[in-house]
Amino acid sequence: MNPEENQKALEQYTQEISTEALKDAKHFLENSLPAGQGVQKDILLAEVLSEEQQIEKNRKTIENSIKEQDDLNTNLPEKELKTLEQLQFERNELQKKRQEENIVIAESYKSIDDIIRMKRETDEMRERYMKQKVELDEIIKKKKII
């Protein structure tokens, strides 16, 4: 047992012993004082009853405190679990966004590659066109000369 649990158990045993002692005192007062000392007997019984009620109140307070502590101890892991689940959810969302961004970036690179390829093809076509135009111009000049 840890020191806190030992302290709680000790307090509980002390309360029980005090309660039993007060009950014994009450029983003693009820049975041992002569009938002529009724007022004194009633005063003592009232004091014992008051002490007994105070002890019972303290016992209930201790029980409630122990229950609250136990609830806090059991709720703490639940709260930590909820926090962990929330963090995992947020991490997953960030990973999804990052994947989407990576897809967009990859598509952009692909588009850039496509544009570069199309420019190269266009340059090649322009070069072939220019060659064919030069050849055609030469053929036309030769025909005019002839």
Which phi and psi (to 5°) does residue 68 adopt?
-60, -40
Which token pair is 135? 């050849």
Check whether 125 has a pLDDT greater than 90.
Answer: yes
Which token pair is 19? 């309660």
Tens of pLDDT along 104-113? 888 888 888 8
DSSP 33: S
Nearest-10 crossing angle of helices 38-145, 3-32: 160
Helices (H), the chain: 3-32, 38-145
Lowest mean pLDDT among 31-45, 46-60, 109-123: 31-45
Tell me the residue type at 88.
Q
